[in-house]
Amino acid sequence: MSDHAGIPLIHIVDDEDPFRRSLVFLLESAGWQAIGYGSAEAFLQASPSLSSGGGCLVLDVRMPRISGLELQRRLQGSGSLFPVIFMTGHGDVELAVQAMKNGAVDFLQKPFKDQQFLDAVEAAVHLSLKRHAADQRCRDAREMLDRLSSREWDVARLLARGMANKEVAGQLGISDNTVHVHRQHVMAKTETGSVAELARLILHADPDGLD
Amino acid sequence: MFLRRQAILFLFVSLLSTLSIAGGVATMPVRVGVLAWDDMEESEIRWSSLAQGLNQRLSQQLPGRVVELHHLDLEAMTQALQAGRLDFVVTNPGHYVTLEANSGVTRLATLVSGPLTDPGHIVGSAVVVLDSRSDLHSLADLNGKKLAAVSPDAFGGYQLAWVELKRIGLDPELDHPHPLFLGFPMTRVVDAVLNGTADAGVLRACLLEKLEQKGVLRLGQLRVLSPRPDVAACKVTSRLFPGWAFAAAGQTPPALSRDVLLALLSLPPDVVGQSWTVPADYHPVHELLKELKIGPYAFLRETGWDALWQRYWPLLAVLGLVLLLWGAYTFHVEHLVQRRTRELRQLLDEHRQLEGKIQAGQQQMDHLSRLSILGELSGTLAHELNQPLAAISNYARSLIRRQDKGNLSTEALRQAAGEIASESERAAGILGSIRAFAKKRSQVREVHDVVALIREASSLMSGVLSRASVIVVSHELTEAKRRVIVDPLQIQQVLLNLFKNAWDAQQASGIDAPIEVAVAREGERCLVTVRDHGPGLTPELEAHIFEAFFTTKPDGLGLGLSICKTIAEAHGGELQVQDAKPGLLFRFTLPLADAPPAHEMEHV
C-alpha cells in the first residue's frame, strides 16, 4: 500500500514539449522526481498511483481534446490525494476561479518565475504528504476498530463519549460486570491504554464518529 | 402600189402649194409694222419718206407689191407679229431685242441719224437740269428729286437714263428720284424742267442740241448732268446704244428680206438725216435690259426676292413658322439633352465622389484591419514566444541551481544547453515571421504629401479614441517639399503607434496636452517628429524601448515600436527617441519625392 512512501512524485501534463521538459529539468534540479506527459490521454493511459506517497499534479489549462480542467474533474472521484496546480498562458480569471473551486491548490500564469513554481510544487507536495498521513491514520484506526464485535463497538463508543461503566450498563441494559469485560477486550483489541486514546482513535477513523 | 399612190399625192400637194404662194405674192402687200411711240399721225409723217422710198425701190424687183406701213404701239406690234400679220418691223433697240427673243424677228438694218454715224452707238440719253440749279451737278444729286421722262417704255427717253441711275445706286422705280412720266412729245419734259415741275428731265441724245439750234431753248439754258467725255457729237449722260432696227418677221421669205434690205440700204438719208445701214450688234442692249430686268428679262424681276416675296409670302410665312417651330423644338430638345447630360454628369460626379469616399474608407478599413491583424497576430506571437522564453529561463535557472548544489552533471549541462539553443532558435524564428510580415509591403512606394498622411492618421486616431488628444501639425514646407515616397499604410501605422503611445503616456500621468507633430527638411530627407508631454523615459527603459515584446503597459505587447522601427528602416531611415523634458520625442525621416532618384534607391 505504501510503495513510494518517502519519494514524492510530480506529474506534469502540458502539450508544449520543450516547456514541459524544461519544467521536469527544473524540478529535478530542485531535487524532485518528476514525470512529464504530452497530453491528458497520455497521463490517463499511464494511470500512475495518486494515493500513495507524496506528490502533485501540474496541469496546463488549455490542451487539445481533454483540457486540464476536464482531467481534474475526472480524477476527483478516484481517491487521488495529489493536489493540482494549474498553469495557463492566458491568465483567464474565470478558469482560475473554476479550477480553485474544483479543489486546485494553485494557479500559475505563464511565464512564471522558477522559484514561484518550485514554491507552489513544494507546498502541494507537503499538502499531499499531510493528506497521505491523515489517510494512513484513518486506515489504521478503522483497521483497529474493525476488530471489535458489535457489542464491543457500542461499549467503546459510549466509553469514548466519557460515560462511566455504570452509565454504559444502564444505557445498554446489561450488568456492570459485563461492561467491565467488554471494556477489557476493547482496550486490548485497539491497543489503547485509556479512554482518551480510544476516543482519538475513533475520531481518526471517522471525524463524526462520536456524534 | 401603196408607194406609188403616196408619191402621186405628194406631188399634187407640192404643186398646189407652189401655185398658191405664187398667187399670194402677186397680190399681197409687204406689211411693215412701225413703232408709233408718240402719236399715229406723227408716226405717219415721220416714216412717210421710208414708205415712199421702199415702194419706189421695190417696184422694180417686186412689181405689183405695195409696202404698207402699220403704225402700232408696243403691245399691238407684239400681237400683230405673233398673229403673223406683219412681214417686217421697225422699232427701238429695246423693243427689238424683246421681239427678237419673244417673236423670233431678225434684224436687217440699223437706223443711223444726224451727227451720229456708228450704228452701234446711236441712241443715248441726256439728263438735263436748269443750268441755274447749282445744287445739281451729277446724277447722284438727283436722289430725292423729281425726274421727268416721256414713258417708262421709252428706250432713249428713259431706260438708258434709268440704268445709269441704277449703276450709282439710285432707282426711280423705288422713287428716288421720283419719276414723272409726261408722255410724248418729248418737249413736255423740257417744259417740265423749265417750269420747275421736275428737277431734271430725260431727253434722247442730241435733242437738246437740236432744240437749241432751232432756238426753242436758249443756249446753255439747260445743262446735261454727268456728260460723258467720250461722246463728242452731242452731250449725253448715258452710254450710246445701237439705233432703231429694221427686222424681218420669222416667217418672212428670205428672198423678200433680201430685196427689202437692198432697197433699204439704197435709200438716201431723209430730211432729218436718217438712213439705214448694216445691222449693229444689239448685245449691249441685251445687257442693259437684263440689268433693268425688263423686256425679255422681265422674268428676272419675278425671280427677284421682292417678286418671290410678293408671290409666295404666305407659303414663306408658313415655312418660316414651321422653321421657327422646328428651331424651338430643336432648342427645347437640345436644352433637355443638356439638362439630362448635366444631371448625368452630376450623378457621375457624385458616384465618383462616393467611390472615392468608399475607396478612402476601404483604405482606412485596410489600415485598421491591418492593425487589428497585427494585434491578433501579436497575441498569438506573444503566446508563441512565451513558451520558448519560459523554457529557456527554466533551463538557465535549473543550471544555476544544480551548479549551486554542486550536482551539475555534464549530461544535464548538455541537455539544458541544447534545449536553450533550440528554444532560442525557435523564438528567433517567430520574431523573423514578424519581420517578414512588416516587410511584406515594403514593395509599395507611392508619392504622398506627408502632412496629409499625418492628418489622416490624426483623424483615424480621433475616430478610434473618444477622448483623443489634440494633434497639432506644424511645418514650413511648400507642398512640393512635403512629397515623400512611402508606403502610406506603413507610415500611418508608425504615426498611429506614436500617437497612441503619446496618448497613453499622457493619460497615465493625467496630462491633457496636445501631441505635437513637426515636419521639416533634413538634408535630402523629410524629418517627422512626434512629441508628447508624458513622464518621459528612464535611461533603462530607453535602452529597451525598441525591443520586441518590451512594454511598460499592463496590456501592452511591446510589438508596436519594434515594428515601427522596422518600417522606418525599410524607408531608409531610423526611428529614434530622445527625452524632450517634459515628455518624449520620437523622430524618423522619409525619402523626399524630389530628391535625386539614385539617392532614393540607395535607401529603398
Instruction: Name the percent of chain A in helix, strand, coil, to the closest 5.
Output: 55, 10, 35
Are the C-beta atoms of residues B166 and B143 closer than 8 Å to each other? Answer: no
- The residue-averaged pLDDT of B100-118 equals 82
Using only the alpha carbons of chain B, give its radius of gyration: 61
Q: Look at residue B377 in the predicted model and tell me its pLDDT.
A: 56
**What is the Cα B577 distance to its own chain's centre?**
69
User: DSSP string covering B541-578, please?
Assistant: HHHHTTSTT--SSTT--S-HHHHHHHHHHHTT---EEE
Dump pLDDT digits (tens) for B380-413.
567 678 888 889 999 999 999 999 988 889 998 9
- Establish, for the pair of chains A and B, how many residue pairs have beta carbons separated by less than 8 Å: 65
What is residue A104's three-state secondary structure? coil
Dump pLDDT digits (tens) for B35-61.
887 777 778 888 888 888 888 888 777
- What is the rounded distance in angstroms from the CA atom of residue B238 to the CA atom of residue B223? 14
Residue B4 pLDDT greater than 60, yes or no: no
Q: Look at residue B11 in the predicted model and tell me its pLDDT.
A: 42
Are the C-beta atoms of residues B478 and B519 closer than 8 Å to each other? Answer: no
Are the C-beta atoms of residues B493 and B367 closer than 8 Å to each other? Answer: yes
Which one of B380, B398, B408 makes the best mutation probe of the A interface by having the most chain A beta carbons within 10 Å?
A: B398
Q: Which residue of A has its CA nearest to B383?
A: A89
Q: Please determine whether the domains at B2-118+244-301 and B125-224 fall in the same fold group of CATH.
A: yes
Cell output for B419? 534545449
Q: Which residue of A has its CA nearest to B379?
A: A90
- First CA to last CA across chain A, in angstroms? 30
- What is the rounded distance in angstroms from the CA atom of residue B561 to the CA atom of residue B500? 11
Q: Look at residue B365 in the predicted model and tell me its pLDDT.
A: 52
Residue B203 pLDDT greater than 60, yes or no: yes
- What is the rounded distance in angstroms from the CA atom of residue A127 to the CA atom of residue A21? 24
**Helix H or strand E segment including B201:** strand B200-204
Choose among B480, B585, B487: nearest CA to B534: B585
Instruction: Name the percent of chain B in helix, strand, coil, to the closest 5.
Output: 55, 15, 30
What is residue B156's three-state secondary structure? helix
- First CA to last CA across chain B, in angstroms? 122
Choose among B316, B307, B124: nearest CA to B209: B124
- What is the rounded distance in angstroms from the CA atom of residue B161 to the CA atom of residue B152? 11
Dump pLDDT digits (tens) for B515-574.
899 999 888 899 999 998 888 777 767 766 776 555 665 555 455 677 788 788 888 888
- What is the rounded distance in angstroms from the CA atom of residue B179 to the CA atom of residue B171? 9
Residue B13 pLDDT greater than 50, yes or no: no
Reported residue count of chain B is 604
**Helix H or strand E segment including B30:** strand B30-35
Choose among B119, B100, B381: nearest CA to B247: B100
- What is the rounded distance in angstroms from the CA atom of residue B540 to the CA atom of residue B528? 25
- What is the rounded distance in angstroms from the CA atom of residue A177 to the CA atom of residue B342? 126
- What is the rounded distance in angstroms from the CA atom of residue B295 to the CA atom of residue B301? 10
Which one of B397, B404, B415, B426 makes the best mutation probe of the A interface by having the most chain A beta carbons within 10 Å?
A: B397
What is residue A149's three-state secondary structure? coil
SS (H, E, C) B284-353: HHHHHHHHHCCHHHHHHHHHCHHHHHHHHHHHHHHHHHHHHHHHHHHHHHHHHHHHHHHHHHHHHHHHHH
Reported confidence tier of residue B16, pLDDT bands at 50, 70, 90: very low
Q: Look at residue A84 in the predicted model and tell me its pLDDT.
A: 93
Of the segments A118-122, B71-75, B381-385, B510-514, which one has the largest average pLDDT value? A118-122
- What is the rounded distance in angstroms from the CA atom of residue B169 to the CA atom of residue B518? 85
Choose among B233, B244, B180, B241: nearest CA to B207: B233
* CATH value of B342-439 in 1.10.1370.40, 3.30.1600.10, 1.10.287.130, 3.40.50.720: 1.10.287.130
Residue B12 pLDDT greater than 50, yes or no: no
Dihedral angle at the C-alpha atoms of B183, B188, B189, B194, nearest 10 degrees?
A: -160
**Fold of the B446-603 domain:** Heat Shock Protein 90 (3.30.565)
Residue B10 pLDDT greater than 50, yes or no: no
Quote the Cα angle for B316-B320-B322, to 5°: 115
Reported residue count of chain A is 211
A91 touches chain B (CB under 8 A): no
What is residue A12's three-state secondary structure? strand
B77-85 contact pairs (CB < 8 A, 24+): B77/B33, B77/B35, B78/B102, B78/B103, B80/B33, B81/B33, B81/B105, B81/B249, B84/B249, B84/B251, B85/B31
- Map out the domains of chain B as residue ranges: 2-118+244-301, 125-224, 342-439, 446-603
Q: Which residue of B has its CA nearest to A15?
A: B387
- What is the rounded distance in angstroms from the CA atom of residue B288 to the CA atom of residue A96? 129
Q: Look at residue B528 in the predicted model and tell me its pLDDT.
A: 93
Residues of A in contact with B392 (CB under 8 A): 22
Reported confidence tier of residue B20, pLDDT bands at 50, 70, 90: very low
**Nearest CB to A22 within list B401, B402, B419:** B419
Are the C-beta atoms of residues B583 and B504 closer than 8 Å to each other? Answer: no
Average pLDDT, chain B: 80
Q: Is B220 left (phi over 0), alpha (psi -120 to 50) or beta?
A: left
Are the C-beta atoms of residues B438 and B566 closer than 8 Å to each other? Answer: yes
Choose among B76, B65, B80, B83: nearest CA to B29: B65
Q: How many CB atoms lie within 10 A of CB B401?
A: 20
Q: Which residue of B has its CA nearest to A26?
A: B398
Q: Look at residue B552 in the predicted model and tell me its pLDDT.
A: 62
Chain A residues 129-168 with a CB less than 8 Å from chain B: none
Considering the domain B125-224 in this protein, what is its CATH number?
3.40.190.10
Which one of B384, B394, B414 makes the best mutation probe of the A interface by having the most chain A beta carbons within 10 Å?
A: B394
- The residue-averaged pLDDT of B88-112 equals 88
| Cell 430686268 belongs to residue | B293
Angle between helices B254-266 and B40-61 (to 10 degrees): 110
**Nearest CB to B398 within list A26, A89, A110:** A26
Q: How many CA atoms lie within 13 A of A82 on its CB side?
A: 25
Reported confidence tier of residue B25, pLDDT bands at 50, 70, 90: very low
Are the C-beta atoms of residues B524 and B595 closer than 8 Å to each other? Answer: yes
Residues of A in contact with B426 (CB under 8 A): 18
Cell output for B2? 401603196
| Cell 506527459 belongs to residue | A37
Are the C-beta atoms of residues B562 and B547 closer than 8 Å to each other? Answer: yes
In chain A, which residues have pLDDT < 50?
1-4
Q: What is the pTM of this model?
A: 0.39
Q: Which amino acid is at B202?
A: V
Q: Look at residue B260 in the predicted model and tell me its pLDDT.
A: 86
Q: Look at residue B303 in the predicted model and tell me its pLDDT.
A: 61
Reported confidence tier of residue B463, pLDDT bands at 50, 70, 90: low
* Chain B closest-CA separation from residue A9 CA (Å): 18
| Top-confidence residue, B243 or A90 | B243
Residues of A in contact with B405 (CB under 8 A): 29, 31
Contact state of A19 with B389 under an 8 Å Cβ cutoff: no
Ordered by where they begin, the domains of chain A are: 9-136 (3.40.50.2300), 147-205 (1.10.10.10)
Q: Name the CATH superfamily, with its identifier, for domain B2-118+244-301.
A: Periplasmic binding protein-like II (3.40.190.10)
* Chain A closest-CA separation from residue B472 CA (Å): 39
Are the C-beta atoms of residues B292 and B162 closer than 8 Å to each other? Answer: yes
- What is the rounded distance in angstroms from the CA atom of residue B257 to the CA atom of residue B265? 12
Handedness of CA B587, B588, B593, B594 (dihedral sign): positive
